[in-house]
Amino acid sequence: MKIGFDAKRAYHNYTGLGNYSRDLISSLLKCYPLDEYHLYSPKENKNKRLFFLKEYVNVFSHFPKSYWNKKFKSFWRSLFLERYLLQDKIEIYHGLSNEIPKRKKGGGIKYVVTIHDLIFKRFPDTYKVIDRNIYDRKFKYAALNSDKIIAISEQTKRDIVSFYGVSPHKIEVVYQSCHENFKKKYKHSTKEAVRVKYNLPESFLLNVGTIETRKNLEALIESIPLMENTLPIVVIGGKTDYYEFILTKIKELKIPKSRVVFLENVSITELPVIYQLATLFVYPSIFEGFGIPIIEALYSGIPVITTKGGCFSEAGGQFSLYVDTQNYLELAEAIDKLLLDEKRQKKMIIEGEKYVKKFDSQIITQQLHELYKTIIREG
Protein backbone atom coordinates (compact mmCIF):
# COMPACT_ATOMS: atom_id res chain seq x y z
CA MET A 1 0.00 0.00 0.00
CA LYS A 2 0.92 3.64 -0.49
CA ILE A 3 -0.08 5.32 2.77
CA GLY A 4 -0.02 9.06 3.44
CA PHE A 5 0.06 10.64 6.90
CA ASP A 6 -0.58 14.05 8.34
CA ALA A 7 2.89 14.42 9.89
CA LYS A 8 2.62 17.93 11.28
CA ARG A 9 2.49 16.70 14.87
CA ALA A 10 5.17 14.07 14.28
CA TYR A 11 7.56 16.81 13.23
CA HIS A 12 6.60 19.61 15.58
CA ASN A 13 5.01 18.26 18.77
CA TYR A 14 7.14 16.66 21.47
CA THR A 15 4.35 15.19 23.63
CA GLY A 16 0.76 13.94 23.24
CA LEU A 17 -0.25 13.97 19.58
CA GLY A 18 3.38 14.08 18.51
CA ASN A 19 4.19 10.91 20.43
CA TYR A 20 1.10 9.19 19.03
CA SER A 21 2.09 10.08 15.46
CA ARG A 22 5.74 9.08 15.79
CA ASP A 23 5.02 5.83 17.63
CA LEU A 24 2.38 4.80 15.10
CA ILE A 25 4.58 5.54 12.07
CA SER A 26 7.61 3.87 13.66
CA SER A 27 5.66 0.72 14.49
CA LEU A 28 4.18 0.46 10.98
CA LEU A 29 7.65 0.81 9.46
CA LYS A 30 8.96 -2.01 11.64
CA CYS A 31 6.03 -4.37 11.16
CA TYR A 32 5.16 -3.73 7.51
CA PRO A 33 8.35 -2.82 5.61
CA LEU A 34 6.85 -3.61 2.18
CA ASP A 35 4.43 -0.68 2.27
CA GLU A 36 5.32 2.84 1.19
CA TYR A 37 4.90 5.64 3.73
CA HIS A 38 4.55 9.33 2.81
CA LEU A 39 4.69 11.98 5.53
CA TYR A 40 3.16 15.39 4.80
CA SER A 41 4.14 18.32 7.01
CA PRO A 42 3.68 22.09 6.45
CA LYS A 43 7.35 22.61 7.29
CA GLU A 44 10.42 20.62 8.08
CA ASN A 45 11.88 20.38 11.55
CA LYS A 46 14.95 18.40 12.51
CA ASN A 47 13.10 16.63 15.31
CA LYS A 48 15.57 14.24 16.92
CA ARG A 49 12.70 11.92 17.83
CA LEU A 50 12.26 11.15 14.13
CA PHE A 51 15.74 9.66 13.90
CA PHE A 52 14.27 6.26 13.01
CA LEU A 53 13.18 7.54 9.57
CA LYS A 54 16.79 7.35 8.38
CA GLU A 55 16.75 3.58 8.80
CA TYR A 56 14.17 3.04 6.04
CA VAL A 57 14.16 3.52 2.28
CA ASN A 58 10.37 3.23 1.96
CA VAL A 59 9.46 6.42 3.81
CA PHE A 60 9.26 9.83 2.12
CA SER A 61 8.74 13.27 3.65
CA HIS A 62 6.90 16.02 1.77
CA PHE A 63 6.86 19.75 2.50
CA PRO A 64 5.48 22.79 0.62
CA LYS A 65 7.77 23.71 -2.26
CA SER A 66 6.35 26.77 -3.99
CA TYR A 67 6.67 30.28 -2.57
CA TRP A 68 2.94 30.63 -1.92
CA ASN A 69 2.55 27.20 -0.35
CA LYS A 70 5.44 27.94 1.98
CA LYS A 71 3.96 31.31 2.84
CA PHE A 72 0.45 29.98 3.48
CA LYS A 73 1.28 26.62 5.03
CA SER A 74 -2.08 26.08 6.67
CA PHE A 75 -3.87 26.43 3.32
CA TRP A 76 -1.43 23.95 1.74
CA ARG A 77 -2.21 21.45 4.49
CA SER A 78 -5.97 21.89 4.65
CA LEU A 79 -7.14 23.04 1.18
CA PHE A 80 -4.60 21.99 -1.45
CA LEU A 81 -3.00 18.82 -0.11
CA GLU A 82 -5.22 16.39 -2.02
CA ARG A 83 -3.70 17.35 -5.39
CA TYR A 84 -0.28 16.32 -4.07
CA LEU A 85 -1.66 13.11 -2.62
CA LEU A 86 -3.06 12.30 -6.06
CA GLN A 87 0.27 13.08 -7.71
CA ASP A 88 2.00 10.73 -5.27
CA LYS A 89 -0.65 8.06 -5.96
CA ILE A 90 -1.57 7.72 -2.30
CA GLU A 91 -4.17 5.01 -1.72
CA ILE A 92 -5.14 5.88 1.84
CA TYR A 93 -4.45 9.01 3.88
CA HIS A 94 -4.49 8.96 7.67
CA GLY A 95 -5.16 12.19 9.54
CA LEU A 96 -3.37 11.38 12.78
CA SER A 97 -4.61 14.38 14.75
CA ASN A 98 -8.34 14.96 14.39
CA GLU A 99 -8.46 16.42 10.87
CA ILE A 100 -8.19 15.63 7.17
CA PRO A 101 -7.64 17.95 4.20
CA LYS A 102 -10.44 19.14 1.95
CA ARG A 103 -11.37 16.26 -0.33
CA LYS A 104 -13.12 16.14 -3.67
CA LYS A 105 -15.62 13.53 -4.74
CA GLY A 106 -14.23 10.85 -6.99
CA GLY A 107 -10.61 11.51 -6.06
CA GLY A 108 -9.99 7.84 -5.40
CA ILE A 109 -8.11 8.36 -2.14
CA LYS A 110 -9.52 6.81 1.01
CA TYR A 111 -9.40 8.92 4.17
CA VAL A 112 -9.20 7.77 7.77
CA VAL A 113 -8.93 10.09 10.76
CA THR A 114 -7.97 9.48 14.37
CA ILE A 115 -10.07 11.52 16.77
CA HIS A 116 -8.45 11.51 20.17
CA ASP A 117 -11.07 13.29 22.25
CA LEU A 118 -13.77 15.94 22.16
CA ILE A 119 -12.77 17.59 25.41
CA PHE A 120 -13.31 21.05 23.94
CA LYS A 121 -16.98 20.12 23.54
CA ARG A 122 -17.33 18.71 27.05
CA PHE A 123 -15.34 21.47 28.79
CA PRO A 124 -15.74 24.53 26.54
CA ASP A 125 -14.86 27.00 29.28
CA THR A 126 -11.27 25.70 29.34
CA TYR A 127 -10.72 26.79 25.71
CA LYS A 128 -10.68 30.17 23.99
CA VAL A 129 -13.77 30.81 21.86
CA ILE A 130 -11.74 31.07 18.64
CA ASP A 131 -9.95 27.78 19.37
CA ARG A 132 -13.24 26.00 20.10
CA ASN A 133 -14.71 27.19 16.83
CA ILE A 134 -11.68 26.14 14.81
CA TYR A 135 -11.52 22.72 16.47
CA ASP A 136 -15.23 22.17 16.01
CA ARG A 137 -15.11 23.02 12.32
CA LYS A 138 -12.10 20.80 11.62
CA PHE A 139 -13.21 17.85 13.75
CA LYS A 140 -16.74 17.91 12.35
CA TYR A 141 -15.50 18.02 8.76
CA ALA A 142 -13.16 15.11 9.40
CA ALA A 143 -15.85 13.08 11.16
CA LEU A 144 -18.42 13.58 8.40
CA ASN A 145 -16.10 13.31 5.38
CA SER A 146 -13.65 10.56 6.26
CA ASP A 147 -14.27 6.99 5.12
CA LYS A 148 -13.50 5.64 8.58
CA ILE A 149 -12.94 7.19 12.00
CA ILE A 150 -10.53 5.75 14.54
CA ALA A 151 -11.45 6.55 18.13
CA ILE A 152 -8.77 5.91 20.75
CA SER A 153 -11.34 4.73 23.30
CA GLU A 154 -14.97 3.67 23.62
CA GLN A 155 -15.52 6.95 25.49
CA THR A 156 -14.31 8.96 22.50
CA LYS A 157 -16.46 6.84 20.17
CA ARG A 158 -19.54 7.65 22.25
CA ASP A 159 -18.69 11.35 22.17
CA ILE A 160 -18.28 11.38 18.36
CA VAL A 161 -21.67 9.74 17.96
CA SER A 162 -23.25 12.13 20.47
CA PHE A 163 -21.77 15.43 19.32
CA TYR A 164 -21.57 14.89 15.55
CA GLY A 165 -24.35 12.39 14.86
CA VAL A 166 -22.00 9.92 13.19
CA SER A 167 -23.09 6.31 12.86
CA PRO A 168 -21.23 4.09 15.33
CA HIS A 169 -20.61 1.66 12.44
CA LYS A 170 -18.29 4.24 10.86
CA ILE A 171 -16.09 4.31 13.97
CA GLU A 172 -13.47 1.75 14.97
CA VAL A 173 -11.84 1.80 18.40
CA VAL A 174 -8.11 1.25 18.04
CA TYR A 175 -6.30 1.87 21.30
CA GLN A 176 -2.88 3.45 21.42
CA SER A 177 0.18 2.21 23.20
CA CYS A 178 2.89 4.23 24.91
CA HIS A 179 6.55 4.82 24.18
CA GLU A 180 8.70 1.70 24.13
CA ASN A 181 10.88 3.11 26.92
CA PHE A 182 8.10 2.45 29.44
CA LYS A 183 8.21 -1.25 28.56
CA LYS A 184 11.82 -1.69 29.67
CA LYS A 185 12.99 -2.71 33.11
CA TYR A 186 15.76 -0.46 34.36
CA LYS A 187 18.78 -1.46 36.40
CA HIS A 188 19.13 -0.38 40.01
CA SER A 189 22.15 1.75 39.09
CA THR A 190 20.14 3.60 36.42
CA LYS A 191 17.31 4.25 38.86
CA GLU A 192 19.66 5.55 41.52
CA ALA A 193 21.37 7.89 39.03
CA VAL A 194 17.99 9.42 38.12
CA ARG A 195 16.97 9.58 41.79
CA VAL A 196 20.12 11.52 42.62
CA LYS A 197 19.82 13.81 39.59
CA TYR A 198 16.30 14.93 40.54
CA ASN A 199 16.81 14.61 44.31
CA LEU A 200 13.88 12.22 44.60
CA PRO A 201 12.86 10.64 47.94
CA GLU A 202 13.08 6.90 48.55
CA SER A 203 9.29 6.53 48.37
CA PHE A 204 6.78 8.86 46.73
CA LEU A 205 3.42 9.18 45.03
CA LEU A 206 3.61 10.08 41.34
CA ASN A 207 1.34 12.25 39.19
CA VAL A 208 2.10 12.89 35.51
CA GLY A 209 0.33 15.25 33.11
CA THR A 210 0.00 18.88 32.15
CA ILE A 211 -0.81 20.96 35.21
CA GLU A 212 -4.20 22.21 34.06
CA THR A 213 -7.71 22.36 35.51
CA ARG A 214 -9.05 19.19 33.87
CA LYS A 215 -6.20 17.08 35.26
CA ASN A 216 -7.54 17.94 38.72
CA LEU A 217 -4.28 18.07 40.67
CA GLU A 218 -6.26 20.10 43.19
CA ALA A 219 -7.92 16.88 44.40
CA LEU A 220 -4.57 15.33 45.24
CA ILE A 221 -3.39 18.51 47.00
CA GLU A 222 -6.64 18.80 48.97
CA SER A 223 -6.32 15.18 50.08
CA ILE A 224 -2.85 15.67 51.62
CA PRO A 225 -4.04 17.04 55.00
CA LEU A 226 -6.57 14.18 55.14
CA MET A 227 -3.95 11.45 54.69
CA GLU A 228 -2.23 9.56 57.46
CA ASN A 229 0.83 8.80 55.33
CA THR A 230 3.47 11.49 54.80
CA LEU A 231 4.86 10.42 51.44
CA PRO A 232 5.91 13.28 49.15
CA ILE A 233 4.08 13.73 45.85
CA VAL A 234 6.16 14.14 42.69
CA VAL A 235 4.29 16.02 39.96
CA ILE A 236 5.68 15.93 36.42
CA GLY A 237 4.12 18.09 33.72
CA GLY A 238 4.08 21.36 31.85
CA LYS A 239 2.78 24.38 33.74
CA THR A 240 -0.25 26.50 32.85
CA ASP A 241 -1.99 29.26 34.81
CA TYR A 242 -3.51 26.51 36.91
CA TYR A 243 -0.06 25.91 38.40
CA GLU A 244 -0.26 29.25 40.25
CA PHE A 245 -3.65 28.23 41.61
CA ILE A 246 -2.09 25.00 42.90
CA LEU A 247 0.76 26.91 44.58
CA THR A 248 -1.81 29.15 46.29
CA LYS A 249 -3.76 26.09 47.42
CA ILE A 250 -0.60 24.54 48.91
CA LYS A 251 0.03 27.72 50.90
CA GLU A 252 -3.59 27.93 52.08
CA LEU A 253 -3.46 24.35 53.35
CA LYS A 254 -0.05 25.00 54.97
CA ILE A 255 1.48 22.02 53.21
CA PRO A 256 5.29 21.94 53.53
CA LYS A 257 7.10 22.62 50.26
CA SER A 258 8.96 19.33 50.58
CA ARG A 259 5.65 17.44 50.39
CA VAL A 260 4.98 18.41 46.75
CA VAL A 261 7.85 18.28 44.24
CA PHE A 262 7.36 19.75 40.76
CA LEU A 263 9.41 18.60 37.76
CA GLU A 264 9.08 19.52 34.11
CA ASN A 265 10.97 18.93 30.87
CA VAL A 266 11.86 15.41 32.02
CA SER A 267 13.26 13.49 29.05
CA ILE A 268 11.56 10.46 27.53
CA THR A 269 14.54 8.38 28.67
CA GLU A 270 14.27 9.48 32.31
CA LEU A 271 10.49 9.66 32.76
CA PRO A 272 10.02 5.85 32.62
CA VAL A 273 12.74 5.47 35.26
CA ILE A 274 10.91 7.86 37.57
CA TYR A 275 7.73 5.84 37.10
CA GLN A 276 9.60 2.72 38.21
CA LEU A 277 10.95 4.54 41.26
CA ALA A 278 7.45 5.56 42.39
CA THR A 279 5.37 3.75 45.02
CA LEU A 280 1.91 4.55 43.64
CA PHE A 281 0.62 6.39 40.59
CA VAL A 282 -2.28 8.74 41.38
CA TYR A 283 -4.21 10.20 38.45
CA PRO A 284 -7.29 12.18 39.58
CA SER A 285 -8.12 13.65 36.15
CA ILE A 286 -11.74 14.65 35.64
CA PHE A 287 -11.91 13.54 31.99
CA GLU A 288 -9.63 12.06 29.33
CA GLY A 289 -9.91 10.76 25.81
CA PHE A 290 -8.01 7.72 27.03
CA GLY A 291 -5.31 8.28 29.67
CA ILE A 292 -1.89 7.23 28.39
CA PRO A 293 -0.15 7.92 31.75
CA ILE A 294 -2.20 5.07 33.24
CA ILE A 295 -0.79 2.66 30.66
CA GLU A 296 2.71 4.02 31.30
CA ALA A 297 2.24 3.26 34.99
CA LEU A 298 0.98 -0.28 34.38
CA TYR A 299 3.93 -1.03 32.10
CA SER A 300 6.19 0.41 34.81
CA GLY A 301 4.85 -2.01 37.40
CA ILE A 302 3.27 0.40 39.87
CA PRO A 303 -0.30 0.36 41.25
CA VAL A 304 -2.72 2.92 39.86
CA ILE A 305 -5.37 4.96 41.65
CA THR A 306 -7.53 6.96 39.27
CA THR A 307 -11.00 8.34 38.63
CA LYS A 308 -14.20 6.31 38.69
CA GLY A 309 -16.19 6.40 35.42
CA GLY A 310 -15.37 7.72 31.95
CA CYS A 311 -12.60 6.05 29.97
CA PHE A 312 -10.31 5.40 32.93
CA SER A 313 -11.20 1.74 33.38
CA GLU A 314 -10.47 1.15 29.67
CA ALA A 315 -6.87 2.14 30.30
CA GLY A 316 -6.54 0.84 33.87
CA GLY A 317 -8.29 -2.52 33.70
CA GLN A 318 -10.08 -4.46 36.41
CA PHE A 319 -7.43 -4.32 39.10
CA SER A 320 -6.61 -0.61 39.21
CA LEU A 321 -8.31 1.30 42.01
CA TYR A 322 -11.10 3.73 41.05
CA VAL A 323 -12.44 6.41 43.36
CA ASP A 324 -14.57 9.55 43.29
CA THR A 325 -11.67 11.98 42.97
CA GLN A 326 -13.97 14.91 43.71
CA ASN A 327 -14.34 13.41 47.18
CA TYR A 328 -11.01 14.33 48.78
CA LEU A 329 -11.53 12.16 51.85
CA GLU A 330 -12.28 9.11 49.71
CA LEU A 331 -9.11 9.73 47.70
CA ALA A 332 -7.00 10.18 50.83
CA GLU A 333 -8.36 7.02 52.45
CA ALA A 334 -7.81 5.01 49.26
CA ILE A 335 -4.16 6.07 49.14
CA ASP A 336 -3.62 5.33 52.84
CA LYS A 337 -5.24 1.90 52.67
CA LEU A 338 -3.35 0.84 49.58
CA LEU A 339 0.00 1.91 51.03
CA LEU A 340 -0.65 -0.34 54.02
CA ASP A 341 -1.75 -3.30 51.91
CA GLU A 342 1.37 -4.73 50.26
CA LYS A 343 -0.48 -7.88 49.22
CA ARG A 344 -3.00 -5.86 47.24
CA GLN A 345 -0.23 -3.76 45.71
CA LYS A 346 1.51 -6.89 44.43
CA LYS A 347 -1.77 -8.21 43.04
CA MET A 348 -2.42 -4.91 41.25
CA ILE A 349 1.08 -4.92 39.76
CA ILE A 350 0.86 -8.51 38.51
CA GLU A 351 -2.64 -8.14 37.06
CA GLY A 352 -1.84 -4.70 35.65
CA GLU A 353 1.15 -6.06 33.75
CA LYS A 354 -1.07 -8.81 32.33
CA TYR A 355 -3.81 -6.39 31.33
CA VAL A 356 -1.56 -3.83 29.68
CA LYS A 357 -0.35 -6.41 27.15
CA LYS A 358 -3.51 -5.69 25.15
CA PHE A 359 -1.92 -2.33 24.33
CA ASP A 360 1.21 -3.90 22.88
CA SER A 361 2.40 -1.90 19.88
CA GLN A 362 2.51 -4.91 17.59
CA ILE A 363 -1.10 -5.87 18.35
CA ILE A 364 -2.36 -2.33 17.81
CA THR A 365 -0.31 -1.91 14.62
CA GLN A 366 -1.74 -5.14 13.22
CA GLN A 367 -5.28 -3.91 13.94
CA LEU A 368 -4.54 -0.62 12.21
CA HIS A 369 -2.94 -2.25 9.16
CA GLU A 370 -5.89 -4.62 8.75
CA LEU A 371 -8.21 -1.62 8.94
CA TYR A 372 -6.29 0.13 6.15
CA LYS A 373 -6.57 -2.96 3.93
CA THR A 374 -10.29 -3.31 4.66
CA ILE A 375 -10.98 0.33 3.78
CA ILE A 376 -9.14 -0.01 0.47
CA ARG A 377 -10.90 -3.31 -0.37
CA GLU A 378 -14.32 -1.87 0.39
CA GLY A 379 -13.61 1.09 -1.86
Taking only the tens place, the pLDDT of each residue in 114-136 is: 999 999 999 898 889 999 999 99
* Average pLDDT for 85-102: 94
Q: How far apart are the first and last CA of the chain?
A: 14
Rg (CA), the chain: 22
Q: Assign domain 2-177+360-378 to a CATH class.
A: alpha beta
pLDDT over 90 at 18, yes or no:
no
Range(s) within the chain of domains with CATH label 3.40.50.2000: 2-177+360-378, 180-358
pLDDT tens across 46-79, in order?
777 788 888 888 999 999 988 898 888 889 999 9
pLDDT over 80 at 379, yes or no:
no
Q: 3-state SS string over 65-111? A: CCHHHHHCHHHHHHCCHHHHHHHCCCCEEEECCCCCCCCCCCCCCEE
Q: Assign domain 180-358 to a CATH class.
A: alpha beta
Residue type, position 47, single letter: N
The pLDDT of residue 48 is: 73
C-alpha 25/C-alpha 115 separation (Å) is 17
Buried b / exposed e across 163-187, counting CB within 10 Å, b at 16+?
Answer: ebebeeeebbbbbbbbbebbbeebe
Q: Is residue 220 classed exposed, middle or buried when 0-12, 13-18 and 19+ CB atoms within 10 A define those classes?
A: buried
Q: Average model confidence (pLDDT) for the chain?
A: 93
Confidence bin at 14 (pLDDT 50/70/90): confident
pLDDT tens across 218-255, in order?
999 999 999 999 999 999 999 999 999 999 999 999 99
The pLDDT of residue 334 is: 97
The pLDDT of residue 126 is: 82
Q: For a pLDDT cut of 70, what percent of the chain falls above it?
A: 100
* Average pLDDT for 138-159: 95
